[in-house]
Chains A and B, each alone.
Chain A
């Protein structure tokens, strides 16, 4: 089981000591062109969570590949997963082609950012084209917005995905005292403890649809939360919003997870993968 950061929730160059608590580091999403991101205000706390509308701010593919990747490798010396974003199939494919390098452990295709206007082309098409272009392991980050997460998972698996990551943030709005949107963009991605049940349901649906590795994320604050995602079928776990409040969360959650496993009678987190599925399958039948 790998413990990772959710893409966009940590800058390993600014905070390498936080990144080094993880087993692998996931970069902020890289797009072909540089993106300044959305104007402020970009974040708002809401009940039991927060909204962000960062908007895939990144230096663009060329700068990322020419400088950021090697700086990251020097700063943290651990497996690097590159989150790849784009607005058409070609964007994704061209970035994947350029990531066939030793310092890239894995590619995560971000098909689910709620904070950009451009809608990507169908997931299956993007994944199939990237599969043809990339030899690196290819994970696909999906949203829980889909009516049928299992069906999307089947589509991207048959297109050649090696793994699934979910969930991304959920689109939301917060209003200020004057009943106007707090965020300059009005909508943002909702994350934090409130989305955990949504993440559990999405991981469960994904696990019922595939035997591929799943990176589960969404609202994890504790070892118990991580174990619940694993019980629903996650192979790996990522931390997001909790990192903002607690930069020591990775080490803490890892220690708590080991304790929780032992309390629940599992020798390791791996043993607990999917244990919640049995009763779900029985209920469905």
Chain B
């Protein structure tokens, strides 16, 4: 596993992708890691950085997809090319890639790690769910994707017999656990540090509260 590093990196581009923002930084000495791993991004003007899955790793860059709905993510989406941000990672455990029949499933901003994952798995089929047409514009980042829009749910269109790799809101992941118990699921929790120091990101895993940043964010319960 790549050793995480913390570097001050230059923002190379900020693009709107539907309702979301794609923030690109130059890669420097940072390793992109494994799809599903995450980085802590400095949120300008804020005390704590924000955890973001790597979305894409174009040559010499790292790209992060974020939903500017909170103070930290809005500050991040408001950066300009040329600005500098501290970036720390890759962190946590990503997806296992040794799956024979992968199906990527994403919900909302949970599609963030899927473009990088799709690249690593040679563009397997994907099912993506969004709350509006505007949000669904981000589906352009994921090849071979079937898109559903609220009130249709991704769980209504997941075919059987697939190795599911999913990221999305908690109710979606819980619903997937029911229909695909062996699915690899990427969870989300508020984090202060991302490297096991703060104990803030605990989730219940096999009956115990465990740190998602250390044990996850990708978990498989079977």
Contacts and interface: CB of A to CB of B under 8 A. Distances in A.
Interface of A: 8-11, 14-15, 18, 28, 36-37, 39-45, 48-50, 52, 54, 57, 192-193, 241, 243-248
Interface stretch (B59-67, B131-139, B154-162, B186-194): B186-194
Given A36-B209, A45-B47, A193-B47, A244 B199 contact: no
A57 B192 CA distance: 16
A54 B200 contact: yes
Nearest to A9: B197
Contact of A18 (B190, B197, B203): B197
B72 interface: yes
Nearest to B47: A192
Given A45-B71, A52-B192, 7 more contacts: A14-B195, A37-B199, A42-B200, A52-B200, A54-B199, A241-B192, A243-B193
B42 A245 contact: yes
Interface string B79-96: 000000010100000000
Contacts of A8: 199
Interface residues of B, number: 28
Given A192-B47, A245-B47, A248-B6, A41 B198 contact: no
Contacts, number: 89
A243 B199 CA distance: 13
Q: Could you say which of B71, B195, B200 has the most chain A C-beta atoms within 10 Å of its C-beta?
A: B200
Nearest to A10: B197
A8 B197 CA distance: 8
Contact of A42 (B6, B40, B71, B199): B199
Which 6 residue pairs across A and B have the least CB separation, nearest first? A43-B200, A14-B196, A244-B193, A244-B192, A54-B199, A42-B200
Nearest to B200: A43
A66 B138 CA distance: 52
A45 B192 CA distance: 8
A42 B47 contact: no
B98 interface: no
Contacts of A40: 189-190, 201-203, 209
B168 interface: no
Contacts of A243: 193, 197
Contacts of A39: 209
B208 interface: yes
Nearest to A242: B47
Nearest to B49: A245
A45 B86 CA distance: 18
Contacts of A241: 47, 192
Contact of B192 (A14, A43, A248): A43
A8 B40 CA distance: 20
Contacts of B47: 45, 48-50, 192-193, 241, 245
B170 to A, nearest CB: 11
Nearest to A219: B47
A39 B202 CA distance: 8
Q: Could you say which of B88, B201, B209 has the most chain A C-beta atoms within 10 Å of its C-beta?
A: B209
B66 to A, nearest CB: 16
A44 B200 CA distance: 9
13 contacts: A10-B197, A14-B195, A15-B197, A41-B190, A42-B190, A43-B201, A44-B190, A45-B72, A193-B47, A241-B47, A244-B49, A244-B198, A246-B6
B175 interface: no
B152 interface: no
Contacts of B193: 243-245, 247
Given A241-B47, A247-B88, A50 B195 contact: no
A28 B48 CA distance: 21
A9 B198 contact: yes
A151 B84 CA distance: 47
B6 A37 contact: no
B190 A50 contact: no
A148 to B, nearest CB: 30
A3 to B, nearest CB: 16
Interface in B168-215: 189-193, 195-203, 208-209, 214
Nearest to A248: B6
Given A45-B46, A48-B47, A193-B47, A244 B197 contact: yes
B171 to A, nearest CB: 16
Nearest to A243: B197
A247 B199 contact: no
A50 B192 contact: yes
Q: Could you say which of B47, B190, B191 has the most chain A C-beta atoms within 10 Å of its C-beta?
A: B47
A54 B214 CA distance: 16
